[in-house]
Amino acid sequence: MMLTVLLLVTQVAVQDPRLERLDPETRSLVVSVVDSARAVGLPGEPLIQRALEGVTKGAQGPRIVAAVRRLATDLGTARSALGTRATTPELEAGVAALRAGAGPQVLTQLRDARRPPLTMALAVLADLVTSGVPVDSASAIVLAFAPTARDADLVEFRRAVERDISLGAPPGAAASVRALNTGIRGANDAAVPPGQPPRPPSRP
Amino acid sequence: MFERHDDIVDRVVQQLRQPVSIDPAVDDRVMAEIAADAATPRPRLARWTWLAAAAALGAILIARPWAGGTASPLNAFQFVLVAPQASSVALVGDFNDWDPARSPMRTAQGVWATTVPLAPGRYRYAFLVNGVEWRADPGAPAARDDEFGTPSSVITVGGNGS
């Protein structure tokens, strides 16, 4: 039974016409990574998209394969942190948060603190860190928001912080001040006054 | 209640006050009808009927039509790039297999735009200007993990309508 499923999965990857844009050697290696990922329950589509991104951007085969392998590894790490019920968008956002610098334990805390889907919360965490907000501050704020904030609240918070940063505010101070002034319950507990080290995230 | 004596009212009241007499045979007839009905054999439901009902119930529980289906809702998102000098701009990303032919952008006085329906998720994307130049979206978060040496942006579509 398992062998049949594995064969079917392999067939799907081999026959995916989108991968014909890759050269044969690269395609073979990418298909191998995709098959291995699917065999352990990881989504294959993000890996295919990463390979297609590479070929469209003119990257060399080894670079594409390395990127696909790295993504497969990170998807596995994200799933370990978020659990086997995590959806593909949640895993992708989890990978973004991990690569931004958030630890797997932050992902697990977020999973425990917030009802799914976690995609937006994870994405906002990654985007805040990418904007320059220290990862500890961003993690503490998002974890404090997690139990009650709507996705739209998180997006608005991120936009406000990015707006402040574009106007010249230091990223950490922008996030802290915005967190202090937001109406989202729990945000004040996580806000770190500018110039002080962030407090460790507290469980709700 | 009635201020003047009214013969009609009096007659109605008298009629209402008369005891109602029922034919003593009525009870016997009703009981005889009930007994006859109970004695009539009813057709028993065949076993397959119960099995069919159970199967239908199972199918409904599996399909869960009240759950609204499993298809992800699509929301239309507009992507815009201001590039007055460009002769062509294409939008490529995780949502169109990074295929420049899938989402060409139209221009109006140098403002290039296109609309793409997106399901909830996190997508990487970029603009391909004149077929050779990669540009990130200045109005969106940058993709931090750009492994191919060109800028990309990310868009996150929430799962609950945001």
Q: Is 60 exceeded by the pLDDT of residue B38?
A: yes
The ipTM estimated for the assembled molecules is 0.78
Answer yes or no: is B14 within a domain. yes
Verify whether the Cβ–Cβ distance B159 to A151 is below 8 Å.
Answer: yes
Q: DSSP code of B66?
A: G
Residue B153 DSSP SS3: strand
Range of the domain at B24: 9-66
| Same domain? B143 vs B101 | yes
Answer yes or no: is B1 within a domain. no
Say what the pLDDT of residue A139 is. Answer: 95
Distance CA(A187)–CA(A202), nearest Å, equals 12
pLDDT digit string (tens) for B62-112? 554 444 344 567 889 999 999 999 999 999 999 999 999 998 899 999 999
Answer yes or no: is B90 within a domain. yes
| Same domain? B118 vs B151 | yes
Say what the pLDDT of residue B98 is. Answer: 96
pLDDT in tens, chain A (204 residues): 554 554 444 445 556 899 999 999 999 999 999 999 999 999 999 999 999 999 999 999 999 999 999 999 999 999 999 999 999 999 999 999 999 999 999 999 999 999 999 999 999 999 999 999 999 999 999 999 999 999 999 999 999 999 999 999 999 999 999 998 876 555 555 554 444 444 443 333
Q: Is 60 exceeded by the pLDDT of residue B30?
A: yes
- The domain boundary residue, chosen from B46, B66, B86: B66
Say what the pLDDT of residue A114 is. Answer: 95
| Same domain? B147 vs B102 | yes
Verify whether the Cβ–Cβ distance A129 to B149 is below 8 Å.
Answer: no
Q: Is 70 exceeded by the pLDDT of residue B35?
A: yes
- In order of A58, A136, B110, the CA distances from A183 in angstroms are 46, 21, 40
- Which residue from A135, A133, A87, A97 is spatially nearest to A157, judged by alpha carbons? A133
| Same domain? B89 vs B112 | yes
Which of A66, A70, A96 lies at the smallest CB-CB distance from B122?
Answer: A96
Residue B37 to chain A, least CA–CA distance (Å) = 58
Structural domains counted in chain B: 2
Distance CA(B91)–CA(B84), nearest Å, equals 16
Distance CA(B69)–CA(B67), nearest Å, equals 6
Residue A94 near residue A86, CB atoms below 8 Å: yes
Q: DSSP code of B127?
A: E
Verify whether the Cβ–Cβ distance B149 to A150 is below 8 Å.
Answer: no
Answer yes or no: is B3 within a domain. no
Say what the pLDDT of residue B159 is. Answer: 65
Pairing outcome for strands B106-108 and B89-93: unpaired
| Same domain? B90 vs B124 | yes
Q: Is 90 exceeded by the pLDDT of residue B3?
A: no
Answer yes or no: is B2 within a domain. no
Q: Residue B40: which pLDDT band, with cuts at 50, 70 and 90?
A: low
Say what the pLDDT of residue B69 is. Answer: 40
Residue A117 to chain B, least CA–CA distance (Å) = 6
- Which residue from A110, A25, A38, A20 is spatially nearest to A76, judged by alpha carbons? A38
Q: Residue B7: which pLDDT band, with cuts at 50, 70 and 90?
A: confident
Answer yes or no: is B162 within a domain. no
Q: Give the angle subtended at the CA of A171 by the CAs of A169 and A174, to the nearest 5°.
A: 65
